[in-house]
Structure 1
């Protein structure tokens, strides 16, 4: 049976909770990431997505209070805009179950944990790549 281990990115890049929005955006642009696990003291504490970043940049704090985007980039941290305690899967979770979770909750990614440790991340793109590679006509 196909498992999460077969499709996931092993030991993905992570960020600490105090990472600024400027650094998050820079990392996402440079590496092409849309999801970054947030890790503190070796434990997964959250996940931040490109959608989270867009929400912060379009928040009432920016739109109504006329705060400068530049201020936000250096003051907002991952901890303040991440999804805390995200839904996770284990390495031996059947791949179809991870796909069901991604679809059901409209997530783009799921952190993969073994015990308290982040060991990978599985994304919708991982499933698309697998499908494309294994179902050519």
Structure 2
């Protein structure tokens, strides 16, 4: 039987409105030991912001970060998955799209995130990527 995204995804993702200051998202990432937050408008997925997006698009792109919101730095051309998708097909899409994390949605509502680290832990718990993925962050 094929493995489903719902079995590997991280549930209850941090989701913040697009007008949230970038600093608040960075704080949430540090406190939750995560590398991304989902961007929502009225509960509907609008984008995703990673720690790298904050640096590359926020810090490097804005002279005054106090004026920078998640809507300014989020990736809005999204690949998404359904909880009922087969993991193999989603991994192929992630590889083709060169993304490390993919929001999992039920309709337009975010319900989780699947990362390459989640897949690595399940597939080969002794791999280097799995080892790195289970370690506590260096916040």
TM-score range, shorter chain: 0.7 to 0.9
After TM superposition, the score normalised by the length of structure 1 is 0.83
Superposition misfits of 4+ residues, deviation over 4 angstroms: none
1:18-29 superposed matches below 5 A:
18-29=19-30
> Gaps spanning 5+ residues in structure 2: where?
128-139
- If asked which structure has higher relative contact order (CA below 8 Å, sep 6+), I would say 1
Max radius of gyration: which structure? 1
Matched, 1:17 2:9: no
After TM superposition, the score normalised by the length of structure 2 is 0.82
Number of residue equivalences: 125
> Gaps spanning 5+ residues in structure 1: where?
62-66
1:1-137 superposed matches below 5 A:
1-55=2-56, 56-59=58-61, 61=62, 67=63, 71-72=64-65, 74-133=66-125
Equivalent position SS for 2:122: helix
* Counterpart Cα distance in 2 of 1:89 and 1:134: 26
Equivalent position SS for 2:23: helix
